[in-house]
A and B are shown apart, each in its own frame.
Chain A
Amino acid sequence: ETGVTQSPTHLIKTRGQQVTLRCSSQSGHNTVSWYQQALGQGPQFIFQYYREEENGRGNFPPRFSGLQFPNYSSELNVNALELDDSALYLCASSSGLAGGTDTQYFGPGTRLTVL
């Protein structure tokens, strides 16, 4: 089994810019979830994609959007970056929905800094 990978590892952007983060799911998994972890906090659920459709969104504005591709890899797009978007962004893949009874496998994260 190949693990979950994320790219890039680190990224620096300025306010107002747009960013795309990428995630490759573990082989055989049809669900990918994205999380934001700000300093001192636990991971916060952004949204999840199940078979290319968004299925559940946390308390994040519409400028956070995503895609899941037929090979189940995924992108997280953030428009109009704000300073508070600086965080570690994690993706996780699983055979079922994120908080369900299936195990989630996490990637190593992308550290985004917004200046």
Chain B
Amino acid sequence: ILNVEQSPQSLHVQEGDSTNFTCSFPSSNFYALHWYRWETAKSPEALFVMTLNGDEKKKGRISATLNTKEGYSYLYIKGSQPEDSATYLCAYTPGGGGSYIPTFGRGTSLIVHP
């Protein structure tokens, strides 16, 4: 069983604050890491697919970095807005085997207060 940990489990911030959270995964045999945003009563929405050590991806106020050697990825939100309130999930895929089966973390629940 692969260990994919996300921290913190939940986070409350004020509108305008910048925030970040972590996804930790095994540092050996990396293939890909996916980030998703999941708003209540909606479908999970893909944010980023990250594949290379040192990758940095950005989408509006949200960005992510990847360190495969030490086994972590950070997700940053700059100037949080109430509409950023959601659960943020990461999913790690190891290499080899050919089926590329992802393992999800439990997510970080972000609540942005106006």
Contacts and interface: CB of A to CB of B under 8 A. Distances in A.
Size class of the B contact interface (CB-based, 8 Å):
20 to 34
Interface residues of A, number: 29
Interface string B80-114: 00000000010111000101111111110000000
A28 interface: no
Given A43-B89, A99-B34, A101-B51, A108 B100 contact: no
B96 to A, nearest CB: 12
A88 to B, nearest CB: 11
Contact of A45 (B31, B46, B103, B105): B103
Q: Identify whether the interface residues of A are mostly helix, strand, loop, or mixed.
A: loop
A97 B89 contact: no
A56 B89 contact: no
Interface string B13-41: 00000000000000000011010100000
Contacts of A17: none
A99 B97 CA distance: 12
Contacts of B49: 101-103
A73 interface: no
Interface of A: 3-4, 35, 40-45, 48, 55-56, 58-59, 90, 92, 97-109
Interface of B: 1, 4, 6, 31-32, 34, 36, 42-46, 49, 51, 89, 91-93, 97, 99-107
